[in-house]
Structure 1
Amino acid sequence: MTPSSAESPRPTLRVAMVGHAFMGNAHSQAWRTAPRFFDLPLSPRMSLVVGHDAGRAAAAADRLGWEASSADWREAVTRDDVDLVDICTPGFTHAEIAIAALDAGKHVLCEKPLANTVAEAEAMTAAAQRAHAHGVRSMVGFTYRRVPAIGLARRLVAEGRIGEIRHVRAQYLQDWIVDPDAPLSWRLDKAKAGSGSLGDIGAHVVDLTQYITGDRIREVTGRLETFVKERPYPAGETAGSLGGGGSTTERGPVTVDDAASFLATFTGGAMGVFEATRFATGRKNAIRIEINGSRGSLAFDFEDMNVLEFYDGTQDADTAGFRRILVTEPTHPYVGHWWPAGHGLGYEHGFTHQVVDLVGAIAEGTDPAPSFADGLQVQRVLDAVEASSETRTWQEIPIDG
């Protein structure tokens, strides 16, 4: 980190971002926006964006506000004028980039899921622990944690407002591949994505429920299903161009799950029911979580993301009922830095809050959350669900610490 310009006395945090597609767009917006709405202890500088094509990386740099571009991620790791590497690439690349960056003394923000396999996640966590001894920080990008309504839910649970947790229900519902002729992409290739709905969206609700409850999943039993087993190649592409053997067949195999469902037991004894699917026709990005406790309940749906429903079971039965809380008050998590009460936030704000929390932790020398160890634990849950689907058995999950 270096002193910034005369306009700001704060030290500069020089950032390199690897990947500039969907997640890269969201992360870029966050790096631009965070210092303009929050009083950050460090001043982020968008130094370098990396893509696998030099021309498109240069265009992305110009469009998204990065100072320079490269077609080699190693430049982000080896440059002396980079303090933090932000990884927004497909899962199969995470381990190599993150480990190299951490070993080079760079802070790392890595998109979820942490890796494609438990072994990769373990190696990344070990690298993070090595780097931690030298003051280098790392974090996994589970941004839905930063939705204000989720933060309020966690606070209410921690305050004991719903009592002992007994039931956890979580769904992540999308429908973007309901059409059997939707083309193949890297997200449907196990070698690149690791898994389908389970890892891509199921990982989010695993993390969210553990975050809200403050508890961990200790065992699961589940089922994975691939409803459409072959899909057309994108226009102008073949198996060879997607990394296969060069076949010119019109359709190729889908090697990941389309849907996942599983039961879970939390360490505190709560029962969990989870579902993740890309085949919930009509649902675009519904993250639904309900938690029932001995004194009350909480319910959240991301498609109405500024609202948290709260049932206080201690109230008079004549007037008790679910209360609709509009989570836009300045006392709610993060909200005081934005708009007046009643003016809702959106999807992109979670990424901004992620930057705020990460930059604050780096400046304070504290550990940002979720850590790579947290990401590893989620990876173990995903792996256990997949193993359970294959064996039709309950699978235990190691709990570290």
Structure 2
Amino acid sequence: MTDTQPLRVGMAGYAFMGAAHSHAWRTAPRFFDLPLQPQLTAVAGRNADGVRAAAGKLGWESAETDWRRLIERDDIDLVDICTPGDTHAEIAVAALEAGKHVLCEKPLANSVDEAERMTAAAEAAAKRGVFAMCGFSYRRTPALALAKRMVEEGRLGTIRHVRAHYLQDWLSDENAPMTWRLDKGKSGSGSLGDIGAHIIDTAQWLTGQKIAGVSALLETFVPERPLAGNLVGLGGQGDAGAEAPRGAVTVDDAAIFSARFDGGAASAGAVGVFEATRYALGRKNAMRLELNGTKGSLAFDFEDMNVLSFYEAADSPDAGFRRILVTEPEHPYVGHWWPTGHGLGYEHGFTHQVVDLVNALAQRRQPEPTFADALQVQRVLAAVESSAAHSSQWQAV
């Protein structure tokens, strides 16, 4: 046991993201010396049986069937939002106004208006010592954190090009069933917001520049999918071989856009190319970024997440990229884990996110990324949709 002051957490949602966040809250204090002790106080979900089972499996002390109870409870200091995007604004604003810190999954909201309202609530709460952070967990990947350090040290010089791709294939089967991620009312957008938001945030964070304008194309390859609740028997067919009912897909399957960055502290902004799709057969979680500058280049692929590729122009012209295995104790976060060469995994980004959040809260300083950072991402998402709706016309952010 520890005498460290507790940070009592209430989490809304317990599916994929809820499991990842639960693991992080449990694990962080076991590998990092934290100034506050995370306490998994309560998890909330609408299905009583499901949320009780999740509480037992994921390590939560109690279960609620209404997220509002998390906010009403005096024994909860922070609300962790892992629900679909259509609920983020209501939960986050209510929690902040009630004096609870907030960790909210990305994308921040389903619209710019909602994100603006959330940001205003977060900024007002911060003046009272109550803080909010958006969960762009890839920032906490050690190789990307090392890339950020190298950019800030000037190792790349002035950045000219940004290439960012997020490639998955889990929707390639046109008979895969409907999910809330394909319903615009719940998710806000498809591959654009689900995975495209990650590369937008990471690119802006790495470069220190904001995306100022875009020209975009969105595509929906499969406009209808089987309704999962109506699938009966093998092969997704009901009685007498009738085909299962299908529902309309109301989001994009793929998003492609070019971008101009604002330059940040540099004299001129970089140009960028972005792609997000869940139809790239063979690519399971290929979140890729490459930066080209006047002095060097960096390249990263999450499917090889412990490696950062670096090219320095001062090297021999034919040297090409060199491979940095990001498992050394001096690399970001790594010294708290395993011996050199023993790689980390997807879940570690969420653990590092908890570590950074808890340290910021203990120091009464604003954790990052802020809701304002996430609002900037939301504005880029909106500009991409607007451009795609107007024949790829250039759209300012």
CA distances 1:6-52 after superposition (whole Å, capped 9, x unpaired): x3221110000000000000000000000000000000100000011
Per the alignment, residue 369 of structure 1 pairs with 368
CA distances 1:283-305 after superposition (whole Å, capped 9, x unpaired): 11001101000011000000000
Candidates 241, 244, 250, aligned match of 2:245? 250
Q: Does 1:12 align with 2:6?
A: yes
Per the alignment, residue 245 of structure 1 pairs with none
Which whole-Å CA distance do the structure 2 matches of 1:321 and 1:218 have between them? 31
Which whole-Å CA distance do the structure 2 matches of 1:182 and 1:55 have between them? 26
Which whole-Å CA distance do the structure 1 matches of 2:41 and 2:48 have between them? 16
Per the alignment, residue 383 of structure 1 pairs with 382
Q: Are 2:45 and 2:66, in contact at CA under 8 Å, matched by a contact in 1? A: yes
Which whole-Å CA distance do the structure 1 matches of 2:54 and 2:156 have between them? 46
Cα displacement (A) at 1:317:
2.2
Which whole-Å CA distance do the structure 1 matches of 2:67 and 2:244 have between them? 33
Q: Does 1:231 align with 2:196?
A: no
Q: Are 2:168 and 2:280, in contact at CA under 8 Å, matched by a contact in 1? A: yes
Q: Does 1:213 align with 2:212?
A: no
Cα displacement (A) at 1:200:
0.2
Q: What is the SS of the residue equivalent to 1:315?
A: coil
Which whole-Å CA distance do the structure 1 matches of 2:305 and 2:72 have between them? 40
Cα displacement (A) at 1:262:
0.2
Q: Does 1:117 align with 2:116?
A: no
Cα displacement (A) at 1:215:
1.0
Which whole-Å CA distance do the structure 2 matches of 1:101 and 1:233 have between them? 34
Which whole-Å CA distance do the structure 2 matches of 1:171 and 1:254 have between them? 23
Per the alignment, residue 396 of structure 1 pairs with 396
Cα displacement (A) at 1:276:
0.2
Q: How does 1:267-286 map to 2 (within 5 A)?
A: 267-268=262-263, 269-286=269-286
Per the alignment, residue 82 of structure 1 pairs with 76
Q: What is the SS of the residue equivalent to 1:348?
A: helix
In structure 2, runs of 5+ residues without a counterpart are 233-242, 264-268
Per the alignment, residue 336 of structure 1 pairs with 335
Candidates 17, 24, 42, aligned match of 1:30? 24
Q: What is the SS of the residue equivalent to 2:230?
A: coil
> What is the one-letter code of the residue matched to 1:369?
E
Which whole-Å CA distance do the structure 2 matches of 1:255 and 1:99 have between them? 27
Which whole-Å CA distance do the structure 2 matches of 1:315 and 1:304 have between them? 24
Per the alignment, residue 175 of structure 2 pairs with 181
Q: What is the SS of the residue equivalent to 1:75?
A: helix
> What is the one-letter code of the residue matched to 2:31?
F
> What is the one-letter code of the residue matched to 2:384?
V
Cα displacement (A) at 1:54:
1.2
In structure 1, runs of 5+ residues without a counterpart are 1-6, 239-247
Cα displacement (A) at 1:237:
6.8
CA distances 1:224-276 after superposition (whole Å, capped 9, x unpaired): 000000111104379xxxxxxxxx97111100000000000011110000000
> What is the one-letter code of the residue matched to 2:308?
L
Per the alignment, residue 258 of structure 2 pairs with 263
Per the alignment, residue 163 of structure 1 pairs with 157
Per the alignment, residue 54 of structure 1 pairs with 48
Q: TM-score, normalised by structure 1?
A: 0.94
Which whole-Å CA distance do the structure 1 matches of 2:332 and 2:35 have between them? 19
Which whole-Å CA distance do the structure 1 matches of 2:250 and 2:317 have between them? 51
Q: Does 1:311 align with 2:305?
A: no
Per the alignment, residue 354 of structure 1 pairs with 353
Per the alignment, residue 266 of structure 2 pairs with none
Which whole-Å CA distance do the structure 2 matches of 1:237 and 1:86 have between them? 33
Per the alignment, residue 239 of structure 2 pairs with none
Of the structure 1 ranges 228-237 and 302-311, higher mean CA displacement relative to structure 2 is found in 228-237
Q: What is the SS of the residue equivalent to 1:109?
A: strand
Q: Are 2:309 and 2:324, in contact at CA under 8 Å, matched by a contact in 1? A: yes
Which whole-Å CA distance do the structure 2 matches of 1:144 and 1:185 have between them? 24
Q: Are 2:97 and 2:121, in contact at CA under 8 Å, matched by a contact in 1? A: yes
Q: Are 2:230 and 2:244, in contact at CA under 8 Å, matched by a contact in 1? A: no
Q: Does 1:130 align with 2:110?
A: no
Q: What is the SS of the residue equivalent to 1:145?
A: helix
Q: What is the SS of the residue equivalent to 1:386?
A: helix
Which whole-Å CA distance do the structure 2 matches of 1:288 and 1:337 have between them? 26
Tell me how large the CA RMSD over aligned residues is.
1.2
Q: 1:292 to 1:55 in 2, by over 3 A?
A: same
Which whole-Å CA distance do the structure 2 matches of 1:249 and 1:372 have between them? 41
> Which ranges of 4 or more aligned residues in structure 1 deviate by more than 6 Å?
none
Which whole-Å CA distance do the structure 2 matches of 1:317 and 1:123 have between them? 51
> What is the one-letter code of the residue matched to 1:118?
V
